Amino acid sequence: MEAQRKMKNRFRFFDWLENTAFGRLNLRSKLTLSNMLITFFVILSLGAYVYYRTQQAGSQLTSQLEGNIRNRVEENLASTSSEQAALLNSFFTALSSDTAVIGSTVEDILNKRTSLDSGMYWDANTSLSRLENGSWDNSNDEASSIFIPADVPLTDTLARKLNSLKHTELMIPSFLEDNPDIVAIYFGGILKETVYYPNIDLANIVPPDFDVTGRVWYVDAEPTNNPDREVVWSTPYQDAALNGLVITTSVPVFNAQNRFQGVAAMDVQLTQITNVVSNIRVGETGYAFLIDSDNRLMALPQQGYSDFGIVDATQNFGQVMDSTTVPDAPVELFEILNQVSTGERGVFNISLNGSERFVAFQQVPEVNYKLVIVVPAIEMLTETAIVKSQIQQETRNTIAISLLLIAGIFVLASITSLAIGNRLTTPLQSLTRVANEIIAGNFDAKAEVETKDEIGTLSTTLNTMTANIKEMVQSLEQRVHERTAELQESLEKNERRSKQYEAIAKVTQAINATQNLQELLPQISQVISEQFGFYHTGIFLNDAGNQYAILGAANSEGGKRMLKRGHQLKIGEQGIVGYVTGVGRPRIALDVGSDAVYFNNPDLPETRSEMALPLTIAGQIIGALDVQSTESNAFTEEDVDVLGTLAEQVSLAIQNARLYEQTQKSLAEAEAVSRQYFTETWKSLSQESRIAGYRYTPAGTIPIAEEQMPEIVSTDRKSISVPIIIRGQTVGELAVLVPKQEHIKADQMELIHAVADRVGIFAENARLFDETSRRAEREHLVSDITAKIRSTNDPREMLETAIKELREALKVSRIEIVPQKVTSPDK
């Protein structure tokens, strides 16, 4: 089964191979190509193996070499740090020895006090003077400064002790000159006295209550803290004698009776130690620094400032290095300090500020300091880089030679294969070139059919396929272009029409709010111009004789000037407005051809397109809507359909305004007629009754004739008159007589007015009833006369009956009926 499966897979591979371009080659081409491929893969495999083995060997050799060099570098650094630490230890040991010598010298002098304290060499009682602050001071011309605090008296014991100590100036000044690293030598006694070399006028530097026995170097060296009486080293501190940051080596001093007398000490400035450490050089830019057991920075050359994040190291000398004292220091610095604090010596590497560094440290036993050396790895591994470069160069040379040999073999094999199959591959290359052109979009490319074998058949097929694809692509491109253009045009039209209909809605909303024709027309022209962006909008109305179209409103400045002149156009003759008002059809004029003659109006010089639409009501032309644009070809036939709707709205608005005005006018006329009839009716009623009014008294109602009107005037009363108003017209008045002394109140006046209103209502009702009764009588009389006239069919009798009845009804003596001659309309 496994063999069958492998055989089946092999047949599948050959089937796949036959379906590729390789399968369409003839046998010689297949052999040629197969040989070239086999040669290529063999050479490629051999070259890859050689390259891999060369790279692997070079990498192993480089790794071993680098490891050896690193080990040697670490050994050298350990040796260097040990040597430099030994030198530093010798430096501090020498200082300790010098301190011990100074201590021994002071002890010898104090032990010989009986021979030296007489004051013959120097007398404290005469040489010391008390300052204003109470402290004791000697002359500045002497070799040493002597200071006694203000609270310590100058006793004989102290004076004799100082007389003896004064003899130390016979050797200490020369000792200072021979040891430039020492900045000061001094003695502090148990009586708080201080003898200080050189003479710096100590009494004027320290405060008057300065207690030397409380200084750190004194406390560390006194017997209670130093029972072995050894030389001790202090931590860095600020020197009271203004020597800056110093460390002090001190030793206790005893007399012959083994009694503690004080402490002898020497000061060394940290800057002096920094100078010593700065002389330690490793590599080109390597440097060393010194720290104590508590990670206090004792010395740091300037090369290490940037690594430590320090601008001025003198500000950090003597301080414990942590994140508060050196906030800008990198994290790697604290890693260095942690590793250094774990042992007495060692070498390790670390990345500091982006570059690899070797770090070597060694303890300085005399002062329990540690010397740390930092050097860039690149400076110590230069030999590794050189050897690695040489190995890489040799590897590249070997690979280059191998590639040349492989290329030569492949070229030779290729030339041999190509020489054999060149004739057969030329048609295939031509066919491939044509196929690439077709892929690139050149459907005019054609393959030349030179043979009748498989390649010839493939060329013919390719040409046929190319022609079909070309025809199909051209057809698709044309259809896509047409559909895209139609869609774009439709979208633009719909968008424009939507905006136009929206503008029509806004115009309609605006013009429906006004019913006054004089206000409506300017508002219509202004709103249309704003909503549609027209340069000019004008509304023409036909005159009563339908002879001229008169400009009724315009929004543009030129149109307003035309409006003031009473601009009018002959209907059916002048301009497109005359044409539209004459024939009742829309018209578009463009700034081309024969239409250009319409754009000679000096009031509208910027017009390039114009369209006029008729304003019609029930088929009757009442005017035209004229719109003008500054763009050429601004209007189309589709705009006619859209703006035709707007013209209809404008026509309806004008008709509604006219109807409204007519209605208002008719209403005003009817009201005037009604008022006239009302006035005449009351006037005739007054004349018929010959009664001027009525007087109401407790005795009853008394009619007042016109000639009796003056009689109602009284001398002891005053008259309160209120008009009687009916339908807004005064038809009489209500007069109330009251005593002259009586004051009429507001509520009484309101009552009088209410009575007057009721009188008016009742009087009008009575008049209407009387008028209705008279009309009923008249209608009854007319009905009776008509019935009598209709009782006969003889015209003469009918006339005689009419005359008789009218004479009796009207109570007149004569009535005549005069016939008239009627002319026919046809004659």
CATH number at residue 633: 3.30.450.40
pLDDT of residue 139: 92
Cα–Cα distance, 577 to 27 (Å, whole number): 89
Tell me the average pLDDT across 388-414: 73
Of 715, 721, 712, 717, give the one whose Cα is nearest residue 742: 717
Tell me the average pLDDT across 41-68: 71
Alpha helices for 112-129 (secondary structure H): 113-116, 124-127
Three-state DSSP class for residue 702: strand
Average per-residue pLDDT for the chain = 79
Query: Do residues 256 and 342 both lie within one domain?
Result: no
Structure tokens belonging to residue 561? 């000037």
Three-state DSSP class for residue 237: strand
Query: Do residues 806 and 762 both lie within one domain?
Result: yes
Residue 827: pLDDT band with limits 50, 70, 90: very low
- Domain C-terminal end among 269, 294, 324: 269
Q: How many CB atoms lie within 10 A of CB 766?
A: 11
Query: Do residues 354 and 241 both lie within one domain?
Result: no
Q: In CATH, what number is assigned to the domain containing residue 123?
A: 3.30.450.20
Is omega for the bond preceding 173 within 30 degrees of 0, making it cis? no
Residue identified by tokens 């906030």 is 327
pTM for the model stands at 0.43
pLDDT of residue 455: 67
Tell me the average pLDDT across 269-284: 80
Tell me the average pLDDT across 533-541: 88
Query: Do residues 154 and 297 both lie within one domain?
Result: no
Helix 156-165 × helix 27-111 angle, to 10°: 120
Looking at 316-354, which runs of residues are DSSP E strands? 345-352
421 part of a folded domain: no
pLDDT of residue 597: 46
Of 118, 638, 564, 134, give the one whose Cα is nearest residue 126: 118
Cα–Cα distance, 184 to 165 (Å, whole number): 16
Helix 454-511 × helix 517-532 angle, to 10°: 160
CA 680 from chain centre, in angstroms, equals: 84
Query: Do residues 697 and 822 both lie within one domain?
Result: yes
Structure tokens belonging to residue 692? 């001027």
129 part of a folded domain: yes
507 part of a folded domain: no
In order, the DSSP letters of 60-113 are HHHHHHHHHHHHHHHHHHHHHHHHHHHHHHHHHHHHHHHHHHHHHHHHHHHHTH
Three-state DSSP class for residue 366: coil
Q: How many CB atoms lie within 10 A of CB 37?
A: 12
387 part of a folded domain: no
CA angle centred on 216, ends 213 and 221, rounded to 5°: 75
Query: Do residues 603 and 575 both lie within one domain?
Result: yes
Q: What strands lie across the sheet with 355-364, from one edge to the other?
A: 297-299, 287-291, 369-376, 355-364, 345-352
| Cβ-based neighbours of 506, under 8 Å, separated by 6 or more | 527, 531
- Domain C-terminal end among 630, 665, 700: 665
Which residues share a beta bridge with 361?
Answer: 346, 372
* Highest mean pLDDT pick, 280-289, 363-372, 645-654, 762-771: 363-372
Query: Do residues 567 and 658 both lie within one domain?
Result: yes
The model's pLDDT over 102-133, given as tens digits with 9 standing for 90+, comes to 999 999 888 876 667 666 788 888 999 999 99
486 part of a folded domain: no
What range does the domain containing 210 cover?
112-269
285 part of a folded domain: yes
The DSSP H or E segment spanning 541 is: strand 536-542
Cα–Cα distance, 703 to 378 (Å, whole number): 143
Cα–Cα distance, 297 to 345 (Å, whole number): 18
Residue identified by tokens 């496994």 is 2
* Highest mean pLDDT pick, 12-16, 181-185, 335-339: 181-185
The 8 Å CB, 24+ separation contacts for 138-143 are: 140/199, 140/201, 141/199, 142/169, 142/199, 143/169, 143/172, 143/173, 143/197, 143/198, 143/199
Structure tokens belonging to residue 545? 């004789």
The DSSP H or E segment spanning 468 is: helix 454-511
Residue 484: pLDDT over 50: yes
Cα–Cα distance, 819 to 796 (Å, whole number): 13
Of 347, 297, 341, 350, give the one whose Cα is nearest residue 319: 297
Residue 708: pLDDT over 80: no
Of 353, 316, 346, 359, give the one whose Cα is nearest residue 332: 353
Residue 825: pLDDT over 60: no
Query: Do residues 358 and 221 both lie within one domain?
Result: no
654 part of a folded domain: yes
Residue 496: pLDDT band with limits 50, 70, 90: low
The model's pLDDT over 619-657, given as tens digits with 9 standing for 90+, comes to 888 899 888 888 888 787 777 877 887 778 788 788 787
Residues of the chain above pLDDT 90, percent: 12
DSSP state of 451: -
The DSSP H or E segment spanning 519 is: helix 517-532
DSSP state of 232: E
Which residues share a beta bridge with 719?
Answer: 737
Query: Do residues 703 and 613 both lie within one domain?
Result: no
Of 759, 699, 765, 716, give the one whose Cα is nearest residue 735: 759
Structure tokens belonging to residue 640? 């006619």
- Contact in structure between 546 and 571 (CB atoms under 8 Å): yes
Query: Do residues 311 and 260 both lie within one domain?
Result: no
- Contact in structure between 612 and 577 (CB atoms under 8 Å): yes
Backbone angles phi, psi at 699, to 5 degrees: -80, -20
Query: Do residues 590 and 725 both lie within one domain?
Result: no
Report how far apart, in Å, the C-alpha atoms of 707 and of each of 331, 711, 734 are.
132, 9, 18
Residues of the chain above pLDDT 70, percent: 78
Residue 429: pLDDT over 80: no
In total, how many domains does the chain have? 4
Residue type, 237: Y
- Domain C-terminal end among 615, 648, 665: 665
Of 323, 322, 283, give the one whose Cα is nearest residue 303: 283
pLDDT of residue 103: 92
pLDDT of residue 264: 96
Residue 792: pLDDT band with limits 50, 70, 90: confident
Dihedral (CA of 279, 282, 287, 288) sign: negative
DSSP state of 320: B
Report how far apart, in Å, the C-alpha atoms of 714 and of each of 85, 186, 526, 694, 708 are.
148, 144, 69, 16, 13
Report the DSSP pairing between strands 184-189 and 194-197.
Answer: antiparallel
- Contact in structure between 711 and 693 (CB atoms under 8 Å): no
pLDDT of residue 197: 93
12 part of a folded domain: no
Query: Do residues 264 and 313 both lie within one domain?
Result: no
